[in-house]
Amino acid sequence: MSRLPLHRLLQIWLLFQCCASCNCGLDPKKRDMLMKLEELRRTGGAVELDEREKLLDAKLRKLQEHEMKAGPFPPSMHFFKAKPLIEQSPIFSLLQKMPKGGALHVHDFGIVGVEWLVKNVTYRENCYVCFTNEVFVQFIFSSGQPAPRPLCSRWTLLRSLREKTKNITDLDNSFIRNLTLFTEDPDRAYPSQDVVWKRFEKAFLGAYGLVTYAPVFKDYLYEGLRQFYVDNIMYVEIRALLPATYELDGRLNDKQWSMQACQEVVRRFTAHYPDFVGARVIFTVHRGVNATVAIKAVEEAMTLQRNFPDTMAGFDFVGQEDLGRPLWYFKDALSLPEQRGVDLPYFFHAGETDSQGTEVDQNLMDAILFNTTRIGHGFALARHPVVKDMSRKMDVPVEVCPISNQVLKLVSDLRNHPAAMLMAEGHPLVISSDDPALFGSSGLSHDFYEAFMGFGGMSFNLGTLKELVLNSLRYSSLPSQTKEKAIAALLVKWDKFVLESLL
């Protein structure tokens, strides 16, 4: 990628110093220089655009200007309200067409739009449903009447329920609502982080019985890759719990089976879509587990790493950070690989909190101490200047997921998201979507829109987008040769995108 050469930077800086020292009052050149220096610091600010890119940038700028002025500004609103506005935006449709490289922070059961789960999966044979006291749905596939589940009604075969239901569309829509967080009035429905996280875990549990059915597990992953591919993404890193999957007769498959399934699905997918680079798995465990379970999990991760070196990328903890255990609690487990001379890369969620100064808030420090490869969210990073410097110097990027942070109530107006500051100073980062299916977004385009317009307003340009897109492969866990090839392929896609967007 062409960046502004260092000597040019130095020249500009020297000019500025020079100008600053003379007593030349309000010299417009000095002003321009100051602007230029700010611009150079930004994410993508030093990317030099070629002639065609400059034309597209000019077009983009007009669209930005229009969008800043026209009506309510989507990033300032809750995503559930902003979504229809975003989807009408010409910037959004440009971002959809833009090749976005890799999605580096997404979770196993949050990648497929839930319409597919309801319209496709729940229509398969042998699907049973039960309702909890709070009228939440749970599903299971079974060859016979499944064993009753505590706190859930008797299992009903969905096919017979549908036969008895007057309005099936209404029923399906109610399932869809169970499986996402969408609601017309999010501020009322979710007054606090704990409430929204509880609802999040319920939605997740609802989907659980569907996606852990072995045949669905594979189809789900395939469909997830397809939905990302359609959004012009060529590579995905999936944080995966790799839960036991089950067969129709109740038999359970282990993690090895799940990894094998992932490998097989990714191979099948890339054979079908040769310009898709692939997908890798970051094995995750819930951060509510105790030290003993964590040790077992890390040991399992090392085994998976040995058995599936191409598919397995590393290890992480998931779940609400504020209620889970801090990384330091898991120090014995996390020290195991090093003690045994095994390379198990970490990709920790850290700083997905606004509880400053608590044990949880220290996760950012510990993530760096445990040599994390990337930082998931890092929402609190701006409040930790030393860690921030280290993350920059060690080139440990932050995975920023704007919509997730907003829906899970860390920030309401995305113009105030801390990543706006990180991007203003060119901190290494990538944009991702966490659990798009639960938020009602898809792929990465909605999050790119929020980041581009919300964090940047008029200050970001096509160079910002190019840098973000390149970052997504640069900071991926792909082995270096594959990475270089993927970046080259991305740049070819990029040029085609620029050309086609000018027509």
Q: Which residues are catalytic, by number?
A: 352, 377
Q: What is the dihedral of CA 351, 355, 358, 362, to 10 degrees?
A: 10
Region near ligand NAG per CB under 6 A, out of 8-16, 100-108, 135-143, 435-443: 135-143
User: With binding defined as CB under 6 A, does residue 332 bind ligand NAG?
Assistant: no
- Copy the structure tokens of residue 327: 């990384």
Burial 285-299 (b: 16+ CB within 10 A, else e): bbbebeeeebbebbe
245-246 and 235-240 strand pairing? unpaired
The amino acid occupying position 68 is: M
Cα–Cα distance list, 14 to 21, 32, 37, 47, 256 (Å)? 11, 14, 11, 20, 59
DSSP letters, 109-136, are GGSS-HHHHHHTGGGSTTEEEEEBTT--
**In 3D, which of 337, 384, 336 has the Cα closest to residue 360?**
384
Nearer to ligand NAG, 136 or 257 (CB): 136
User: With binding defined as CB under 6 A, does residue 390 bind ligand NAG?
Assistant: no
User: With binding defined as CB under 6 A, does residue 370 bind ligand NAG?
Assistant: yes
Residue 491, exposed/middle/buried by CB under 10 A (0-12, 13-18, 19+)? middle
CB of 244 to ligand NAG, least distance (A): 15
d(CA 416, CA 410): 10
The length of the chain is 503
Nearer to ligand NAG, 117 or 490 (CB): 117
Per partner kind, with CB cut-offs from 5 to 8 A, the member of ligand NAG, Zn ion, none near residue 137 is ligand NAG
d(CA 250, CA 245): 9
Angle of helix 51-69 versus helix 480-502 axis, rounded to 10: 70
CB of 102 to ligand NAG, least distance (A): 23
User: With binding defined as CB under 6 A, does residue 50 bind ligand NAG?
Assistant: no
Nearer to ligand NAG, 146 or 215 (CB): 215
- The residues that touch Zn ion, with contacts defined as CB under 5 A, are 434
CB of 226 to ligand NAG, least distance (A): 8
Angle at the Cα of 423 (from 226 to 36), degrees rounded to 5?
Answer: 125
- Copy the structure tokens of residue 82: 């902003």
User: With binding defined as CB under 6 A, does residue 416 bind ligand NAG?
Assistant: no
User: With binding defined as CB under 6 A, does residue 165 bind ligand NAG?
Assistant: no
Region near ligand NAG per CB under 6 A, out of 91-99, 131-139, 295-303, 457-465: 131-139
Region near ligand NAG per CB under 6 A, out of 23-31, 162-170, 416-424, 473-481: 162-170
Binding residue for ligand NAG (CB under 6 A) from 219, 361, 434, 450? 219
Binding residue for ligand NAG (CB under 6 A) from 2, 88, 167, 481? 167
Binding residue for ligand NAG (CB under 6 A) from 4, 19, 36, 120? 120
User: With binding defined as CB under 6 A, does residue 290 bind ligand NAG?
Assistant: yes
Q: Please give the residues from 292 up to 321 whose contact with ligand NAG meets the rule CB under 6 A.
A: 292-293
- Copy the structure tokens of residue 412: 């309401």
d(CA 486, CA 480): 10
Per partner kind, with CB cut-offs from 5 to 8 A, the member of ligand NAG, Zn ion, none near residue 177 is ligand NAG
Provide the binding-site residues for ligand NAG, judged by CB under 6 A.
120, 123, 131, 135-137, 167, 169-171, 174-175, 177-178, 219, 223, 290, 292-293, 335, 338, 370-371
